[in-house]
């Protein structure tokens, strides 16, 4: 499929976030620092949460989330950063389809992992006595496995129709990475059906998971009626980090994928939040006030020294 289409369109040109040379130099430094912080921070969290010091389900999910964030940002950030240094930031047809697959694979898997983490927090707060039995190691493994498989199926359904489209005209993608809507604008065919399918696929997954997450937190808040102030503080501090990540990630993704996109410049700006900003902030959000993670990190550092 890829070889057949690549004969008519061998490469695409990806746009930069700005056409101003001075702004591009600033962006290069800023986003390079962001990407380095993303990889370093998530690598530290992945190493710490995969150690034997932290073996609760929450850290099991957090370990997978950190690994996904490293891969997710690495699919788009290096290409975006390089666009600030070159005049024409090109990518091959096969590389473009591969990038499209990677973005949706890791992005959708992260959505499912965050939903699994919300269920974990619900059980921990609303049914604490049954928590060890309900959140068994086997169930956690199944939830993570379903998340990865679901991400793969979603990405395949998003990528395959795009790879089958003919591309024979302009090759300038109005985005800093290959995504569904910008590529549909370049196809030499009627893409209304593919556009509606993309909205139904990505948009409904983002919106439905977001509504599930919001509902779970409403149930948690209702269950806290009659609790002491200390109980409220403990529950809210436990869920606060997860709520922050949910709104930072699901807000932009829902905005981009829930509607047929007409203004791709807005999508390009909003996409920075869920492809780089949120993966960079996840380690800070989850570990800044987490005494167990900081304690495990200190133990790991002392052992390495």
In a domain, 44, yes or no: yes
CA distance 151 to 95: 19
- Give pLDDT, residue 4: 44
Beta bridge partners of residue 173, listed in sequence order:
14
Confidence of residue 2 (pLDDT cuts 50, 70, 90): very low
**Angle, CA 64 vertex, CA 143 and CA 81 arms, to 5°:** 135
* CATH code of residue 129: 1.20.1070.10
- Give pLDDT, residue 75: 94
Higher pLDDT, 34 or 235: 34
- Give pLDDT, residue 185: 87
- Give pLDDT, residue 29: 94
In a domain, 224, yes or no: yes
In a domain, 292, yes or no: no
In a domain, 106, yes or no: yes
In a domain, 278, yes or no: yes
CB contact at 8 A, 113 and 147: yes
- Give pLDDT, residue 193: 84
- Give pLDDT, residue 152: 96
pLDDT in tens, 254-274: 888 877 666 677 778 888 888
Higher pLDDT, 1 or 174: 174
Chain mean position to CA 57: 20
In a domain, 305, yes or no: no
Residue 303 in this model has a pLDDT that exceeds 70: no
Q: For all residues of the chain together, what is the average pLDDT? A: 83
Give the residue-averaged pLDDT of 66-88.
91
pTM > 0.75: yes or no: yes
CA distance 260 to 273: 19
Which regions of the chain does DSSP assign to beta strands (E)?
11-14, 89-92, 172-173
| Residue corresponding to tokens 């390089």 | 82
Separation of first and last alpha carbons in the chain: 52
What percent of the chain is predicted at pLDDT more than 90?
A: 29
**Angle, CA 262 vertex, CA 275 and CA 72 arms, to 5°:** 15
Whole-Å CA distances, 229 to 81, 234, 235, 236 = 47, 9, 10, 11
What percent of the chain is predicted at pLDDT more than 70?
A: 84
**Angle, CA 69 vertex, CA 151 and CA 142 arms, to 5°:** 45
- Give pLDDT, residue 300: 66
- Give pLDDT, residue 8: 61
- Give pLDDT, residue 20: 83
Q: What residue numbers bound the domain in which 273 lies? A: 11-284
Q: What are phi and psi of 13, to 5 degrees?
A: -110, 120
Residue 89 in this model has a pLDDT that exceeds 70: yes
Residue 43 in this model has a pLDDT that exceeds 80: yes
pLDDT in tens, 154-163: 999 999 999 9
Residue 293 in this model has a pLDDT that exceeds 60: yes
3-state percent breakdown (helix, strand, coil) of the chain, nearest 5: 75, 5, 20
- Give pLDDT, residue 1: 42
Burial 26-42 (b: 16+ CB within 10 A, else e): ebbeebeebbebbbebb
In a domain, 88, yes or no: yes
- Give pLDDT, residue 32: 95
CB contact at 8 A, 254 and 203: yes
CA distance 77 to 273: 12
Confidence of residue 16 (pLDDT cuts 50, 70, 90): confident
pLDDT in tens, 194-253: 888 888 888 888 888 888 888 888 888 787 776 666 666 666 666 777 777 788 888 888
Higher pLDDT, 137 or 51: 137
For every residue of 274-299, DSSP letters joined together read IIIIHHHHHHHHHHTT-HHHHHHHHH
Q: What are phi and psi of 289, to 5 degrees?
A: -115, 15
- Give the number of C-alpha atoms closer than 13 A to the C-alpha of residue 226, restricted to the C-beta side: 3
CA distance 44 to 26: 27
Chain mean position to CA 173: 21
Domain tally, the chain: 1
Evaluated on CA atoms 50, 51, 57, 62, the torsion sign reads: negative
């Amino acid at each position: 499929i890829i070889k057949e289409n690549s004969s008519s369109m061998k490469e695409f040109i990806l746009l930069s976030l700005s056409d101003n040379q001075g702004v591009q130099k600033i962006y290069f430094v800023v986003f390079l620092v962001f990407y380095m912080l993303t990889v370093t921070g998530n690598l530290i969290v992945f190493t710490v949460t995969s150690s034997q010091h932290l073996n609760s389900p929450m850290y099991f999910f957090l370990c997978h989330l950190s690994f996904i964030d490293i891969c997710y940002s690495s699919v788009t950030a290096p290409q975006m950063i390089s666009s600030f240094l070159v005049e024409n930031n090109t990518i091959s047809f096969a590389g473009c389809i591969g990038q499209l697959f990677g973005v949706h694979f890791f992005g959708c898997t992260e959505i499912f992992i965050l939903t699994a983490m919300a269920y974990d927090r619900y059980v921990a707060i609303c049914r604490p006595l049954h928590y060890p039995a309900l959140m068994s190691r086997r169930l956690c493994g199944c939830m993570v496995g379903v998340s990865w498989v679901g991400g793969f199926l979603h990405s395949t359904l998003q990528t395959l129709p795009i790879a089958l489209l003919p591309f024979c005209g302009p090759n300038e993608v109005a985005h800093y990475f290959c995504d569904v809507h910008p590529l549909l604008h370049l196809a030499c065919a009627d893409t209304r059906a593919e556009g509606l399918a993309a909205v139904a696929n990505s948009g409904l997954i983002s919106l439905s998971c977001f509504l599930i997450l919001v509902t779970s937190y409403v149930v948690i808040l209702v269950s806290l009626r009659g609790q002491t102030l200390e109980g409220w503080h403990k529950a809210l501090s436990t869920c606060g980090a997860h709520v922050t990540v949910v709104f930072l990630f699901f807000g932009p993704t829902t905005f981009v994928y829930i509607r047929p996109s007409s203004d791709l410049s807005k999508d390009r700006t909003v996409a920075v939040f869920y492809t780089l900003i949120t993966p960079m902030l996840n380690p800070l959000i989850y570990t800044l006030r987490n005494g167990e993670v900081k304690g495990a990190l200190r133990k790991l550092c002392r052992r390495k020294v």
